[in-house]
Amino acid sequence: MICPNCGSNIPDGLAKCPACHVDLEHPKEVHKAEGVWCESCGSLVPDGATVCPHCGMPVGRQEDAGIRESAIEAGDATGDLSSDRERTNVMPRIESAIPPEDDGDSPVAEHDRMPRARVLLITMGIAVAAVCGFVLLVTHPWNPEAFDTRAKTDASTSMAGFPGTITELKGQDSSASSDSTKVTSGDDASYKKLSSYYKKLVKLEAKVDASEKSFDKVAYSGTQTERQSGYENAQSLVYEISNLIDDIKQVDVTSGTYADDRSNLTSLGNYMRNRMDALYDAWKRCAKSTDPQADQKIIAAPLTDTDGSSITDRYKKLFEENYKDWKPQKKSS
Q: Is residue 216 exposed (0-12), middle (13-18) or buried (19+ Cβ within 10 Å)?
A: exposed
**Separation CA 313–CA 303 (nearest Å):** 9
Identify the DSSP state of 29: P
pLDDT at 271: 95
Residue 237's DSSP bridge partners are none
Which whole number is the average pLDDT over 227-238?
A: 94
Which is more confidently placed, 21 or 124? 124
Q: Among the listed ranges 36-50, 97-111, 308-322, which one has the minimum average pLDDT value?
A: 97-111
pLDDT at 176: 42
Give the CA-trace dihedral at 188, 193, 195, 200, to 10 degrees: 170
Q: What amino acid occupies position 150?
A: R
Which whole number is the average pLDDT over 43-53?
A: 80
pLDDT at 88: 46
Per-residue exposure over 240-260, b if at least 16 CB sit within 10 Å of its own CB, e if not = ebeebbeebeebbbebebbee
* Among 54, 33, 51, 34, residue whose Cα is nearest residue 43: 54
pLDDT at 17: 85
**Separation CA 191–CA 197 (nearest Å):** 10
Which whole number is the average pLDDT over 154-159?
A: 49
Q: How confident is the model at residue 302 (pLDDT cuts 50, 70, 90)?
A: very high
pLDDT digits (tens, 9 = 90+) for 202-226: 999 999 999 999 999 999 999 999 9
Q: What percentage of residues in the chain have a pLDDT greater than 70? A: 67
Q: How confident is the model at residue 80 (pLDDT cuts 50, 70, 90)?
A: very low
Q: Is residue 63 exposed (0-12), middle (13-18) or buried (19+ Cβ within 10 Å)?
A: exposed
**Res. 136: pLDDT tops 80:** no
Which whole number is the average pLDDT over 117-143?
A: 81
pLDDT at 311: 93
CA 63 to chain CA centroid, nearest Å: 86
Which is more confidently placed, 21 or 277? 277
pLDDT at 120: 83
pLDDT at 326: 94
Pairing of strands 155-156, 183-184: unpaired
Q: Is residue 141 exposed (0-12), middle (13-18) or buried (19+ Cβ within 10 Å)?
A: exposed
Which is more confidently placed, 32 or 19? 19
Which whole number is the average pLDDT over 265-285?
A: 94
**Res. 4: pLDDT tops 90:** no
Which whole number is the average pLDDT over 129-145?
A: 74
**Res. 87: pLDDT tops 50:** no
Q: How confident is the model at residue 143 (pLDDT cuts 50, 70, 90)?
A: low
To 10 degrees, what angle do helices 186-218 and 311-322 make? 150
**Separation CA 8–CA 94 (nearest Å):** 8
Centre a 10 Å sphere on the Cβ of residue 57 and count the other Cβ atoms it contains: 13
pLDDT at 150: 56
Q: What percentage of residues in the chain have a pLDDT greater than 90? A: 40
Mean pLDDT score of the chain: 76
**Res. 240: pLDDT tops 90:** yes
